[in-house]
Amino acid sequence: MTVTQNRRKPLIIAISGIVFLVLALYIRNYVSLEQLAIQEERFRSLIALNPTRSFLLGFGIYIVLSLVPGTGGKGVVYGWLFGFWQAVTIVTIGLTVTGMIIFSLSRYLFRESIERRYPRFVALMNKHIKKEGAFYLLTLRMAHAPFSIVNPISGASRVSAWTFFWTTLVGLIPANAIWVYVGIRLPSLREFADSGAGAFIDPPLIAALVACGLLPLLVRLLVRRFGIPRSTSGTQTVNQDRFQLDKS
């Protein structure tokens, strides 16, 4: 399976590059930045005139997109369109709902197949849940471990649904807040049209982008330095495989 995925990666990258190139050429030749700026202003006006409907529609679209692998960066777009608090609410609750959907499907429909396909990951999850309790899953969330691994593996493990729910909800807030902040600091298309690339020279924006990359590394560094608190007394020290699930 790994060999097949490695062979597909160059093809996916090539196809994505071609799509972006065609899109860029189309926009360059047939769509002006001024026209895009006008459309953006109209779109923002619709959101402002219909806040409740826009929020619910945006929330539904976010959940659908979150169920599709490889659709990252949505928090930045939502911050750009909805502002900080609305976007953080949509992104955090949306990812939690999506996680619970995958968790439930894995537990009640695909548990046996996941256990057969990923026995090592399921055993590792059960081991650390038994030793460190909910804090282990909370740490994975704060370290931004891949959802495509954590969600189904958690469903096939012995972690309770409530523990999965609250650790997902709480653990995703720091990273989501940073990504949304990046979105609200991005210039509008009107600002970009007026100022050019200089509109992106914004110290808070640059600091937020740096924080996006450093947060997962900082969480992992702190865990390696201080360890994960154990939920039961008398257990052995956590081995070096603490973050194998995350790295994999």
CA-CA distance, 83 to 187, in Å (whole number)? Answer: 13
pLDDT at 203: 77
Sign of torsion, CA 14 18 23 29?
positive
What's the CA gap between 123 and 114, in Å, rounded?
Answer: 11
| Tokens, residue 52 | 């409740």
Cα 232–chain centre separation: 31
pTM for this entry? 0.72
pLDDT in tens, the chain (248 residues): 444 445 555 666 667 667 666 666 656 655 666 677 777 788 888 888 888 999 999 999 999 988 887 677 788 889 888 989 999 999 999 999 999 999 999 999 998 889 888 888 888 888 888 888 888 888 888 887 888 888 999 999 888 999 999 999 999 998 889 889 988 888 777 776 666 666 667 777 778 778 777 777 777 776 666 554 444 433 333 344 444 444 44
pLDDT at position 99, please? Answer: 93
Distances (CA, A) of 233 to 130, 133, 135, 167: 11, 12, 15, 22
Q: What is the pLDDT of residue 216?
A: 72
Burial 10-48 (b: 16+ CB within 10 A, else e): eeeeeeeeeeeeeeeeeeeeeeeeeeebeebeeebeebe
- Residue 133 CB neighbours (<10 A): 18
- Sorted by sequence, the CB contacts under 8 Å of residue 121 that are 6+ apart come out as 149, 153, 245, 248
| Structure confidence at residue 166 (pLDDT) | 92
User: Tokens 């995350």 — which residue?
Assistant: 246
